[in-house]
A and B are shown apart, each in its own frame.
Chain A
Amino acid sequence: MHRSWTKDRRGVEGFFEEILAFIVVVIAVGAFITSAYSSFLAHERQNALSSLSDDCYTFSRALRSFDPIVERGVVFQEPLPGRLDSQKLDGLNMSVLRNGLGTPHHLNLSFTDRVLGTVWVLGDKPPAGPVQRAVVTAPVLISWPDGRRDPGSIEVVMWD
């Protein structure tokens, strides 16, 4: 008996339909598991970035009080946190920083005098592209030999 294809119900509600439905469900579940796993990895990376940001902030706080670069009091020669001596910044290098404020991360540091525009840059070149990095700036004063204290900033860029 010949039936037109529009009336042929075989394969629509039978075994072949279930195979097709099963394939669709498998694809959907696979896509969901993949996206859920990639989302989990992204949040793990976010946790790592949060930890890196904490390290960067701690480092910037320590840098503001780093003995070899801060100005000293006139009478008691005590270190003055947040007041950086321009002459000491001229002689600063990464080995002094790493020995004094050891950190396992890569670093790029910028000390900027906001009035004169003088910039001291130290450390590794920041990576190009979407690499996870923490950037923290901190306010400081830059002291000059003539007694001026200019507002400035420290910028710490940290990455793994």
Chain B
Amino acid sequence: MRLWQRRKGVSALFDALLFFIIVSVACAALIFSAWRLPVTGGISQSDMGSRTSDIMACALEATVGPVNYSAGGQDMQFSGTALGAIQMILGVQSSFQEWNTSGLEGAVSGVLGSLVERPYHFVLDGRLVGRPGGIFISDAPGELSGMSAGRWSCSVPLDVDGIECQLSLYIWR
């Protein structure tokens, strides 16, 4: 008997059950896609650029200190804005052979850590043009590879003792 003539297992009921299974899979896919939709909305990715600028502006104007640091073998104390602290770090590192600015860097990191909320991470990077020293502050130094996937940045020019500097803030998740 030829195949198309054999009715065993090729009944209408079999076809209907096959149709039922396929439709059930489609229903499950639809319900799963609807179930995955969030019920809580938030800031969109396109708005993160202006948010990064806001974070930078707030961070630079925030108050830090009193913080201890050393330059040229002398212990000193700093109180002022985070912008002043960054300028102090860059100025000390470019002018002195011996320095310890970890306290100042910790204070700036604390300000940025207060403004950049999880799941976002930050890097603050600043280099003096043609001079030694620089600032590199991050809350996740081991995860810098994630920056290339999607990040937002804001850069501002700085003047440190007459030397040009570009200060950049990078935020990513």
Contacts and interface: CB of A to CB of B under 8 A. Distances in A.
Interface of A: 12-13, 17-18, 20-22, 24-25, 27-29, 31-32, 34-36, 38-39, 42-43, 45-46, 49-50, 52-54, 56-57, 61, 64, 82-83, 114-115, 130-141, 147-153
Given A28-B20, A132-B39, A39 B26 contact: no
B17 A151 contact: no
Contact of A38 (B34, B44, B61): B34
Given A13-B12, A61-B50, 5 more contacts: A17-B13, A28-B19, A134-B41, A149-B61, A153-B115
A130 B26 CA distance: 26
A52 to B, nearest CB: 6
10 closest pairs, A vs B, by CB? A53-B41, A42-B34, A114-B114, A21-B16, A151-B114, A24-B16, A134-B41, A35-B27, A28-B23, A21-B12
B40 to A, nearest CB: 6
B23 A29 contact: yes
Contacts, number: 128
Given A25-B19, A38-B34, A115-B114, A139 B13 contact: no
Interface of B: 7, 11-13, 15-17, 19-20, 23-24, 26-27, 30-31, 33-35, 37-44, 47, 50-51, 54-55, 57-59, 61-63, 81, 111, 114-115, 117
B54 to A, nearest CB: 5
Contacts of A54: 44
B50 to A, nearest CB: 8
Contact of B61 (A61, A114, A136, A141): A141
Main secondary structure of the interface of B (DSSP, over half): helix
Contact of A139 (B35, B37, B58, B63): B58
A159 to B, nearest CB: 10
Contacts of B43: 53, 57, 136-137
A18 B42 CA distance: 53
A25 B34 contact: no
A43 B37 contact: yes
B23 A135 contact: no
B54 A139 contact: yes
Given A25-B20, A137-B117, A139-B58, A53 B44 contact: yes
Contact of B16 (A25, A42, A140): A25
Given A27-B20, A28-B20, A57-B47, A50 B41 contact: yes
B69 to A, nearest CB: 20
Contact of A52 (B41, B55, B63): B41
B61 A83 contact: yes
B13 A150 contact: no
B34 A39 contact: yes
Most chain A CB neighbours (cut-off 10 Å) among B33, B34, B57, B58: B58
A150 B142 CA distance: 28
Contacts of A31: 23-24, 27
